[in-house]
């Protein structure tokens, strides 16, 4: 790397001294990139969660920042539309005092025929420390990571994975129930086959010992998911009273590509989290949604806004999770540990 290590800037005190202090001394992190939650152990994820919890006060402080990535540059390469993820990564990098730059597919030379890895290599040549990439092609982030030496974060690649979304969802569950997720029943409902969010959550939750059930129409639930250690169901009513957390997913109409799909009224009748179904959930259970949300289709508006909903907490937690991920990856790369 051709940039000054953030560890040489600011305070040398440990991270425990305060979220806004210098880089500090933290144990070695062994990953240069974050492309899939399948690559992380339980210890790896818990490390991210601990650091995110440390950073969380900065997200809500409305003013204080950390200097942990001062002097570093983070570029977002988004080839798909995004609201939460794009702004969340930008906010996370800014709160770490990094310089933040954004490039969209329409504003890049890929619209002129340049390959995505050539675009990434040219961006890295400008002295960039981390690339945050979203693309509609599964495996795009791995392709880019194979061609650059800076850190690469998968912000969603096709139907493959969305690892930071999985991490923030799991972090939200931990913040509500405590760090031990063993035996917790997490139900994911909706368009599973097209959901990179579902895949990342499945990898992360099963690694941490949670019991995961996926629910949806047969055409929208992959038949081979059980090999990942999850239970497959097509009957939401039979399990809604047994959940600890229920995560509703939107139907990704833009990715259906001819897949059989029930009518919207039929889908809602069988798989929506309606007010009536929410009343049958245990009192301690929480309602989740990664967004964007289609109120009135997969979830009733009243349920999405209910006190048991943690949907906006997921958004807040996402900034802290992405702060932790960026710090760990960039620091590992600066130290040559990846």
pLDDT score for 4: 35
| Cα 100 to Cα 34, 67, 91, 153, 205, distances in angstroms | 19, 14, 9, 14, 31
Place of tokens 């003013």: 63
What's residue 146's pLDDT?
A: 97
Place of tokens 């001394």: 25
Write down the pLDDT at residue 227: 92
**Cα–chain center distance at 58:** 19
| Residues 198, 248: Cα–Cα separation, whole Å | 10
The answer to whether the Cα torsion of 255, 257, 261, 263 is positive or negative is positive
Distance CA 196, CA 240 (A): 23
Query: How many angstroms separate the CA atoms of 272 and 128, rounded?
Result: 44
For the whole model, what pTM was predicted? 0.90
Residue 73: φ, ψ to 5°: -125, 135
Cis peptide, bond prior to residue 335, ω within 30 of zero:
no
Q: What is the pLDDT of residue 19?
A: 62
Cα(73)–Cα(288) distance, integer angstroms: 32
pLDDT given for residue 12 in this prediction? 32
What's the confidence (pLDDT) of residue 62?
A: 82
What structural domains and CATH numbers belong to the chain? 42-161+316-331 (3.40.50.1370), 163-251+260-310 (3.40.50.1370)
- The three-class DSSP label of residue 236 is helix
Radius of gyration over every alpha carbon of the chain, rounded to an integer in angstroms = 20
- Give, for 100, the enclosing helix (H) or strand (E): strand 99-104
Pick from 259, 258, 180, 157: nearest CA to 216: 259
235, exposed or middle or buried, with CB in 10 Å at 0-12, 13-18, 19+?
exposed
Distance of CA 214 to the CA centre of its chain: 18
d(CA 74, CA 95): 12
Contact criterion met (CB below 8 Å) for 260 and 266: no
Spans of the chain below 70 pLDDT: 1-27, 105-112, 254-260, 335-338
């Amino acid at each position: 790397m051709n940039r000054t290590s953030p560890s040489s800037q600011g305070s040398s005190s440990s991270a425990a001294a305060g979220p806004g202090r210098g880089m500090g001394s933290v144990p070695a992190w062994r990953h240069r990139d974050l492309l899939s939650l399948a690559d992380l152990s339980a210890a790896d994820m818990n490390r991210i969660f601990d650091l995110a919890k440390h950073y969380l006060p900065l997200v809500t402080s409305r003013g204080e920042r950390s200097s942990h990535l001062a002097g570093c540059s983070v570029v977002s390469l988004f080839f798909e539309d995004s609201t939460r993820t794009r702004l969340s990564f930008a906010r996370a990098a800014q709160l770490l005092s990094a310089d933040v730059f954004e490039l969209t597919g329409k504003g890049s030379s890929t619209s002129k025929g340049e390959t995505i890895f050539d675009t990434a290599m040219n961006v890295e040549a400008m002295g960039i420390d981390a690339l945050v990439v979203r693309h509609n092609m599964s495996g795009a982030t791995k392709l880019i990571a194979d061609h650059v030496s800076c850190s690469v974060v998968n912000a969603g690649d096709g139907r493959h994975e969305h690892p930071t979304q999985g991490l923030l969802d799991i972090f939200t569950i931990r913040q509500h129930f405590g760090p031990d997720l063993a035996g917790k029943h997490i139900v994911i409902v909706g368009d599973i086959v097209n959901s990179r969010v579902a895949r990342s959550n499945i990898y992360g939750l099963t690694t941490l010992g949670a019991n995961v059930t996926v629910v949806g129409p047969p055409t929208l639930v992959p038949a081979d998911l059980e090999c990942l250690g999850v239970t497959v169901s097509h009957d939401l009513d039979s399990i809604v009273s047994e959940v600890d957390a229920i995560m509703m997913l939107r139907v990704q109409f833009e990715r259906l590509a001819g897949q059989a799909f029930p009518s919207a009224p039929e889908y809602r009748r069988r798989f929506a989290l309606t007010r009536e179904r929410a009343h049958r959930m245990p009192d301690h259970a929480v309602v989740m949604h990664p967004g964007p949300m289609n109120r009135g289709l997969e979830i009733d508006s009243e349920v999405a806004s209910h006190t048991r909903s943690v949907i906006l907490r997921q958004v807040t937690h996402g900034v802290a999770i992405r702060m932790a991920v960026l710090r760990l990856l960039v620091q590992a790369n600066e130290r040559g540990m990846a």
